[in-house]
Amino acid sequence: MKSEPRGKSTARDLAYIPYVNDGLDFAIQMNYLIDFSWQIFDENLYVMATGDVFPISMLKDAVGDTAKINITRYYKTPVSSIPEAEIPPSELIPGIIEKTNRLAKGYGIEITNARFNDFSVSEADKMTIHRFEKEKENIRLYSEIAKAANPVAAGAVQSVNQAQKPLEKVSWLCKCGKENKTNFCSECGSQKSFEKWVCSCGTKNSGKFCMECGRKLEEY
């Protein structure tokens, strides 16, 4: 069977990036599509390495996996809005092509170009963000109504809001030594772990209670 010298395909995958805004702090899921073109540059190598049947799914997986690694490393600084999160990181494309071709060229095939066709926040995480924003807006409106109707009640609402204000977030110490407050290490990309942590009083700890002020880790 004669192989096609070139073709087009699409890689589909997902990655997680940090999101922080007005008290909401979590890793949001980004779904992405990458359209790419490929060509056989050495037909003899291609036939010898693949038997003239190269699994394009293998190329799709390589593009998707490489993009996931690069995206995770790229977002060291958290995004703070859905529009900001959904700006495709097109500057990552050259690196994705270069790293994928390290594998593909061993089969006599290479990626010639690529682009993000989609880069969007998952619907579930969009709902989480919108629900949080709605609750914050409802609290603000209720406070304004209470203030207009009864200044004393308004003071009570303010006191409740202050009492419900979360404690200052603790930092967690990554195995690479970097101190972080987001869900992923800004240095190496490792996921958050409180095996070692830093209390808001500044003390480094490895247990469930701060050795200096006695604050319980779970209270944060």
pLDDT tens column, 125-167: 999 999 999 988 887 787 777 777 765 555 555 554 554 445 5
* Phi, psi of 114, deg, nearest 5: -160, 160
Pick out the chain residues at pLDDT < 70.
1-4, 49-54, 150-169, 218-220
Give the integer Cα–Cα distance in Å for 22 and 20.
7
Residues with Cβ within 8 Å of 102's Cβ and at least 6 positions away in sequence, in order, are: none
Residues with Cβ within 8 Å of 185's Cβ and at least 6 positions away in sequence, in order, are: 174, 176, 178, 191, 192
Spell out the domains of the chain, with CATH numbers in brackets.
Answer: 6-121 (3.30.479.30), 167-220 (no CATH)
CB 62 within 8 A of CB 38: no
pLDDT at 163: 46
CB 178 within 8 A of CB 131: no
Give pLDDT tens digits for 34-53: 999 999 888 888 777 666 55
Read off the amino acid at residue 198.
V
Q: Six-digit token pair at 219?
A: 């209270």
The reported pTM is 0.61
